[in-house]
Structure 1
Amino acid sequence: MSEVAEMLPALLVAVPILLAAVPIVLGLRLERTGWSVAAVTTTALTAATVYLAAAVYETGRVVHVLGGWGETENRPQGVGIELVADEFSVLIALLVTITAAGALAYMRAGGPRGNTFYGGYLLLVGGLLGLSLTGDVFNMFVFLEIVGLATYAMIAAGDGPESAVAALKYLILGTVGASLYLIGVGFLFMATGALNMEVLGEAIPQIAEEGGSDLTLLRAAFAFIFVGFALKVAQWPLHTWQPDAYQHAPDGVTPVIAALVSTVSAYALGRIMYNVFGPEFLTATPYLTEIVVAVGAVSVVAGSTLAVIQRDVKRMFAYSSVSQFGLVVAAYGLVTQTAFVGAVVHLIGHGVMKAGLFIAAGLIAVGYGARTVDEYAGLAKNRPFAAGATALLLIALVGIPPSAGFIGKWYIAVGAVQAEAWTVAAVVFLSTMLTIAYAARLLEKMYFTPATPVESPHPPGPVAADGGEPAGRDSIRRGSPEAVSFGMLAILVTIALSAVVIGFAGGAFFEWLEPFTSEVFTE
């Protein structure tokens, strides 16, 4: 393994966090340089992550111990900061960097432009990469807080009091979730004396076998950690922050937080469940897997049902995310290799699809003036490329093969059958039917309902591309074709096509994750 590959995990986390100050400093002398700094940084991060993924594929996991503390014999067991790139984490890191870079193509014309915003954007990317690559449960809390603080600021960047209220709600509930997680970490440390995930993964089975008070601490730790992540991943009934946050965040912000923030939190939950506690602890603890599956299954039904009755498109997609993440949590609770791979595939696919759908919603709002389902009437005639890409993403979300939505649901359903969890298999089918219900509403409006004077949106006057105050020559008129740039449309079409391409990669995902799953499920 090359020295460059060994340093990459640390650089991927440190570089965006350090460069987050650059747009703010440059803003003292220059205006609107933040986008350029963010674009160069995220492009370089994408290239570095691809290189790291290649190294993982060739040589296996890459571990970087900060400060080289792991090289000393006096290092206490399980203490120290490690960053780990393996088959699981590097997939999420690729999703983060590619999405972060791609979303900037939309933000160039359709997103916030302030230098401070892009400073927060780079801080968010660094936090997400840290959350993806950390090998330490306490530092996972640190990165959760970095991600949370950056997300609060980005949601509050929207216009109007609704954005501020949504950000405050996310701040309060997100802090509660992180605090519950930290309490769980405290119980873990009390029971094991370790914080390193690998050491914890070795110590917990021994404690579970011996029993006693330490086992009670472990069960309490899992309970607090799971509830904390259930809030972060927006599982019903702890989901209430997500619809408001997604609806009232700026159109350029929503694709990023929808595709990445809860997705990486769901990844972190899977990492804790399988690398720290392990399948044996999960299956041996009474009612644990049943509770996890029940939380996920109820979230699937509740989220899909609430999505069906929404009129605002962004709010509909937000409730859809509650449902889709419910599938992932339920798959985690099945504790089978096939269901776990399905959960990972669904995480990747959902991140891609939701990034595309929220970019489409923002693009249509800017270029057509439509934000509600009724206002999408006649969209296919007036905006054929935007409507076509949106339709393709909706079909993928339903799970029509070949698409990203199908392959993830397929593996989860197969894993449910293997585990004889017939309720989960039924929930997968029911979620597909409910997804068809709200997707069909949009498709029917776009392609089969002519626009009427009542349904047609009424574009306001000139507004800035970031939705703020008019900005001179940068002002645009919502509802006009010139409001949508080529880059905005190109990134939407690219994401829609990617959602189909991922559907053909099911076998590749299984092969890629095989070293990780074999180690986890055979121990």
Structure 2
Amino acid sequence: MNELLPLLVAIPLVGAVASITLGSWSDRLAWPVTFLTMLVHVGLATAVASTVYRGGTPLATAVGGFTPPFGIELVVDGLNAAILVLVSAVAVGVLVYARRAGPHSVAFHTGYLLLVAGLSGMTITGDMFNLYVFLEITGLAAYALVATGDDGRAAVGALKYLLVGTVGASLFLIGIGYAFVATGTLNMADLAEKLATADPTLVGASFALVVTGLAVKTALFPLHTWQPEAYASAPDSVSGLIAALVSTVSAYALARVTFSVYTVDFLTSSAFAQEFLLGLAGISIVAGSLLAVMQTEIKRMLAYSSVSQFGLVVAGVAIANEAAVTGSLIHLVGHAVMKGGLFLAAGALAVVAGARTVEDYDGLGARAPLLSAAFAVLSLSMVGIPPAVGFVGKWYIALGAIQAESWPIAVVILVSTLLTLAYFLRLVERMYFRTSSDDVTSSTGTGATAVADGGDDTDDGLTRPSAGMVAVVVVAALLAVGLGPLVSTFEPLLEPTLETLLQL
């Protein structure tokens, strides 16, 4: 199984080449090629994760046969096996949604597979410079995907994303440079050994730059400025994909670098490292929630909500005990499902009723009952209503904060939950307890009839969400509820990895 790890990156790259080659002959071939590629990828990712969790030991291989630390190492353990399956499964789901929702261009499908290749590489690499390379591949693919929107706003959003993302990647690269100067190596395991005895000034500077660069990619406040416009201006399928995966994998990379390179000893003993991460996380949690409450555009509200949620994840990483880190991983997976589902549901509801703002959600519960119910379930899951996975992730992080006596973070989690309830509850209230103007005119016989949840699209464009679009949103809602009770089964599988990373 070890020798199959490079295929997790190679398969999407080969698929991207096939997509653009066959797509240049016929546009209709791009989606089937992309879908077939992702089916192979999800099967391989599932097999790798199953092997890791069943055996309890990591899988590792050296690319090209060059022995680490001189060669590039790929590693899958209990921490990133879950992220690997998440990337693959979510990408398949969004692709099903995009079959009718679009974009339908060859460029979109090629960029889609390049993004999956970059995210997969970021997830499994054991080399810091290789992480930077995959970070750039991911970024470039994401910029291009955002720009596939039909209007100028998408181009502006992609440009802002490009400029801010380039700054973040540059800071990350400079931080890697400091680490290399201090140790002469780039392999993560080798760095962990040598940084312990390296110049503390260089190590501290390296940590600050690497974490700041990844914080930009994760979109923590105040380094989040690219995210709201990129998410809001991108096509709905693209918004769902990058909201579910790009910042998620960046947050995972931050956790991986913190524990596997700088180590938990450095984090807890350094004069500033843990406080820096906790401060960044706490500010992001509160600021993201407050900014989300102030929004009237649905996709911008969801984007600011992500700023807050990733603050929670980073807080768990900074606390660095078993409960908090377990909560961070659970919340990463849960957030990807819930937030990706919310963006896709918002896109489908926009097709039903042109609903793009908070006021547009009046009466949607009657006009699109299935989609509205799925949106409401996903919203309440994000708030943290038991037994949803959103509750379980927050519970573990809060428990870790209490165990570490990090009382400010525990209070911040409570406050952010109340704010999250405020901005999602107003949408649910509008959907089910208000009547839209369209419903009023329809009842008098002068307006259009209500639109159903699912249906076919016409040759001129999408007029109703397809059955596939509705199905993906409903599955996301079911997963948001169903994954919560499964955490008790998953937690023991994660323990061996956490014992190694946290030096328990």
Q: TM-score if structure 2 supplies the norm length?
A: 0.95
SS at match of 2:461: strand
Q: Paired residue for 2:182, among 182, 191, 216?
A: 191
Question: 1:278 maps to which residue?
Answer: 263
Question: 1:210 maps to which residue?
Answer: none
**Matched-pair contact (CA < 8 Å) for 2:24–2:106:** no
Q: Name the CA shift for 1:28/1:506 in 2 (closer, same or farther; >3 Å).
A: closer
Q: Paired residue for 1:101, among 92, 95, 104?
A: 92
Q: Paired residue for 1:416, among 391, 395, 401?
A: 401
Partners of 2:460 and 2:206 in 1: how far apart?
52
Give the superposition deviation at 1:19: 1.8
Give the superposition deviation at 1:521: 1.9
Give the superposition deviation at 1:280: 0.4
Q: Paired residue for 1:345, among 330, 346, 350?
A: 330
Question: 1:64 maps to which residue?
Answer: 61
**Matched-pair contact (CA < 8 Å) for 1:413–1:425:** yes
Partners of 2:498 and 2:246 in 1: how far apart?
24
For structure 1, the 5+ residue unaligned runs are 71-76, 208-213, 461-471
Give the aligned residue type for 2:21.
V
Q: Are 2:54 and 1:54 aligned? A: no
Q: Paired residue for 1:18, among 14, 32, 35?
A: 14
**Matched-pair contact (CA < 8 Å) for 1:345–1:509:** no
SS at match of 2:211: helix
Question: 2:451 maps to which residue?
Answer: none
SS at match of 2:221: coil
Q: Are 2:499 and 1:499 aligned? A: no
Q: Paired residue for 1:150, among 138, 141, 145?
A: 141
Give the aligned residue type for 1:42.
M
SS at match of 2:235: coil
Give the aligned residue type for 1:133.
I
Question: 1:159 maps to which residue?
Answer: 150
Give the aligned residue type for 1:521.
L
Q: Structure 1 stretch 13-22 or stretch 390-399: which is displaced more?
A: 13-22
Question: 2:467 maps to which residue?
Answer: 486
Q: Name the CA shift for 1:406/1:455 in 2 (closer, same or farther; >3 Å).
A: farther
Question: 1:80 maps to which residue?
Answer: 71
Question: 1:179 maps to which residue?
Answer: 170
Percent identity between the two aligned chains:
48
How do 1:421-440 residues align onto structure 2 when only pairs under 5 Å count?
421-440=406-425
Give the aligned residue type for 2:255.
G
Give the aligned residue type for 2:305.
S
Q: Paired residue for 2:105, among 108, 114, 123?
A: 114
Partners of 1:102 and 1:454 in 2: how far apart?
32
Give the aligned residue type for 1:103.
V
Give the aligned residue type for 1:49.
A
**Matched-pair contact (CA < 8 Å) for 1:374–1:455:** no
Give the aligned residue type for 2:474.
V
Give the superposition deviation at 1:453: 5.0
**Matched-pair contact (CA < 8 Å) for 1:35–1:108:** yes
**Matched-pair contact (CA < 8 Å) for 1:375–1:455:** no
SS at match of 1:268: helix
Question: 1:297 maps to which residue?
Answer: 282
SS at match of 2:45: helix
Question: 2:496 maps to which residue?
Answer: 515
Describe the superposition over 1:237-262 as per-residue Cα deviations: whole angstroms up to 9, x where unpaired: 11111000000000111110000000
Partners of 1:284 and 1:456 in 2: how far apart?
66
Partners of 2:289 and 2:440 in 1: how far apart?
25
Partners of 1:91 and 1:33 in 2: how far apart?
31
Q: Are 2:313 and 1:328 aligned? A: yes
For structure 2, the 5+ residue unaligned runs are 449-456
How do 1:400-411 residues align onto structure 2 when only pairs under 5 Å count?
400-411=385-396
**Matched-pair contact (CA < 8 Å) for 1:163–1:248:** yes
How do 1:454-473 residues align onto structure 2 when only pairs under 5 Å count?
none
Question: 1:139 maps to which residue?
Answer: 130
Give the superposition deviation at 1:477: 5.4
**Matched-pair contact (CA < 8 Å) for 2:264–2:503:** no
Give the aligned residue type for 1:332.
V
Give the aligned residue type for 2:207.
F
Aligned residues: 491
Q: Name the CA shift for 1:455/1:516 in 2 (closer, same or farther; >3 Å).
A: farther
Q: Paired residue for 2:299, among 314, 327, 351?
A: 314
Give the superposition deviation at 1:69: 1.3
**Matched-pair contact (CA < 8 Å) for 2:295–2:301:** yes
Q: Are 2:39 and 1:43 aligned? A: yes
Give the aligned residue type for 1:330.
A
Partners of 1:123 and 1:456 in 2: how far apart?
47
Give the superposition deviation at 1:454: 11
Question: 2:29 maps to which residue?
Answer: 33
SS at match of 1:252: helix
Give the superposition deviation at 1:30: 1.2
Coordinate RMSD, CA, aligned: 1.7
Give the superposition deviation at 1:90: 0.9
Question: 1:463 maps to which residue?
Answer: none
Give the aligned residue type for 2:304.
Y
Q: Name the CA shift for 1:206/1:456 in 2 (closer, same or farther; >3 Å).
A: farther
Give the aligned residue type for 1:23.
S
Q: Structure 1 stretch 29-38 or stretch 305-314: which is displaced more?
A: 29-38
Question: 1:211 maps to which residue?
Answer: none
Give the aligned residue type for 1:518.
E
Give the superposition deviation at 1:473: 5.6
Give the superposition deviation at 1:349: 0.4
SS at match of 1:430: helix
SS at match of 1:505: helix
Q: Paired residue for 1:168, among 154, 159, 170?
A: 159
**Matched-pair contact (CA < 8 Å) for 1:78–1:193:** no
Question: 1:73 maps to which residue?
Answer: none
Partners of 2:129 and 2:439 in 1: how far apart?
55
Partners of 1:453 and 1:120 in 2: how far apart?
39
**Matched-pair contact (CA < 8 Å) for 1:263–1:351:** yes
**Matched-pair contact (CA < 8 Å) for 2:172–2:213:** yes
Partners of 1:247 and 1:473 in 2: how far apart?
25
Q: Paired residue for 1:446, among 431, 438, 446?
A: 431
